């Protein structure tokens, strides 16, 4: 009887340790998946908006935040009417277009440079049909999920035939989280409206931005004095798990770094 009880106790202890170790392993894997998801989600969101940025698109930059002019609709200046220019828009992402708040527009001048016009009013009326009056006529295109659109800008700066895009000023920042006090989150703020969203969380304090400068894409820890020399950013996203896994002393971490080149500057 004593021997049987002893053997049962040994087996019970071994099973208990096995179950505890397995639970800790599963918790650690789950924590790593959470941290990895945070890093990858943050990179996906920023990449989609930062890649189309053109020269002159960075307005402010620190190691924790950047403010940029983010294009959300592209088109061609097709007609001028009563001191306004009508822009026939190319088919794009209708969800992004509807949710965007215009901060201004930019046009490509005769030298091939983009000229931003902050504060210019972008009209809401659809005047794309007037593009047919241009000489030569300009077709306003439609596609599945995208009705043909033409919008006005409150100036006659872009000449007919010039490429134009509408943009909104966006700030991305690693800042204290509201959802998880004491942790960091990736925030996105629309400058013109002040609307802020806590996009992804949590992140380690090591997360931040570095800057790719000049034709050699030299990596700098701090932003240069001349922001137009920035050709892209290196984003470091150190995702964390929300909870500390069982048996660990700190949340799980996943360190992800990636270069995001601004499309218009990548080859300069």
Mean pLDDT of the 125-137 span: 82
- Within a domain: 218: yes
Window from 30-34, 44-48, 68-72, 142-146 with minimum mean pLDDT: 30-34
- Rounded CA gap, 113 and 22, in Å? 60
The residue out of 153, 168, 183 marking a domain boundary is 168
Q: Are residues 89 and 50 in the same domain?
A: no
- Rounded CA gap, 17 and 144, in Å? 59
More confident residue, 258 or 18: 258
Q: Are residues 27 and 55 in the same domain?
A: yes
More confident residue, 13 or 133: 133
Q: Are residues 112 and 148 in the same domain?
A: yes
- Within a domain: 187: yes
- 69 contacts: CB under 8 Å, gap ≥ 6: 53, 54, 56, 57, 59, 103, 104, 106, 116, 167, 168, 169
Give the pLDDT band of residue 267 (cuts 50, 70, 90): very low
**Angle at CA of residue 50, ends 46 and 52, nearest 5°:** 140
Q: Are residues 78 and 206 in the same domain?
A: no
pLDDT at 153: 92
The residue out of 107, 139, 168 marking a domain boundary is 168
CB atoms within 10 A of CB 218: 12
pLDDT digits (tens, 9 = 90+) for 13-35: 666 676 666 666 666 667 778 88
**Angle at CA of residue 207, ends 204 and 211, nearest 5°:** 175
More confident residue, 147 or 187: 187
**Does residue 168 carry a pLDDT above 90?**
yes
**Does residue 215 carry a pLDDT above 80?**
yes
**Does residue 185 carry a pLDDT above 70?**
yes
- Rounded CA gap, 203 and 81, in Å? 50
- 135 contacts: CB under 8 Å, gap ≥ 6: none
For residue 129, which phi and psi values (nearest 5 degrees)? -65, -25
Give the predicted TM-score (pTM) of the model.
0.84
Q: Are residues 78 and 60 in the same domain?
A: no
pLDDT at 266: 46
- 90 contacts: CB under 8 Å, gap ≥ 6: 73, 74, 75, 76, 141
**Does residue 176 carry a pLDDT above 50?**
yes
- Within a domain: 153: yes
Q: Are residues 29 and 97 in the same domain?
A: no
Q: Are residues 52 and 80 in the same domain?
A: no
H or E element at residue 77: strand 65-81
Share of the chain above pLDDT 70, in %: 90
Nearest to 56 by CA among 187, 209, 165: 165
Cis peptide before 65 (omega within 30 of 0): no
More confident residue, 207 or 36: 207
Give Cα separations from 21 to 161, 218, 249, 254 (angstroms): 68, 46, 16, 22
Q: Are residues 243 and 189 in the same domain?
A: yes
- Rounded CA gap, 48 and 62, in Å? 20
């Amino acid at each position: 009887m004593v021997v049987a009880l002893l053997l049962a106790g040994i087996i019970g202890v071994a099973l208990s340790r096995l179950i505890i170790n397995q639970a800790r392993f599963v918790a650690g894997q789950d924590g790593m998946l959470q941290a990895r998801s945070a890093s990858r989600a943050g990179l996906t969101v920023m990449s989609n908006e930062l890649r189309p940025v053109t020269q002159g698109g960075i307005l402010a930059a620190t190691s924790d935040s950047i403010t940029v002019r983010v294009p959300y609709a592209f088109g061609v200046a097709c007609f001028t009417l009563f001191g306004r220019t009508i822009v026939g828009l190319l088919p794009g992402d209708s969800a992004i277009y509807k949710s965007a708040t215009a901060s201004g527009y930019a046009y490509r001048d005769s030298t091939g440079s983009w000229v931003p016009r902050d504060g210019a009013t972008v009209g809401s009326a659809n005047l794309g049909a007037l593009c047919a009056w241009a000489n030569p006529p300009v077709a306003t295109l439609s596609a599945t999920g995208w009705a043909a659109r033409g919008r006005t800008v409150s100036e006659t700066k872009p000449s007919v035939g010039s490429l134009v895009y509408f943009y909104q000023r966006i700030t991305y920042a690693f800042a204290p989280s509201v959802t998880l006090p004491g942790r960091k989150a990736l925030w996105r703020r629309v400058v013109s409206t002040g609307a802020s969203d806590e996009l992804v969380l949590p992140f380690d304090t090591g997360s931040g931005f570095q800057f790719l400068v000049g034709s050699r894409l030299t990596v700098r820890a701090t932003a240069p004095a001349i922001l137009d020399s920035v050709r892209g950013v290196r984003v470091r996203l150190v995702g964390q798990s929300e909870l500390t896994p069982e048996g660990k002393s700190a949340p799980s971490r996943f360190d992800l770094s990636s270069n995001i080149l601004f499309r218009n500057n990548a080859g300069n």
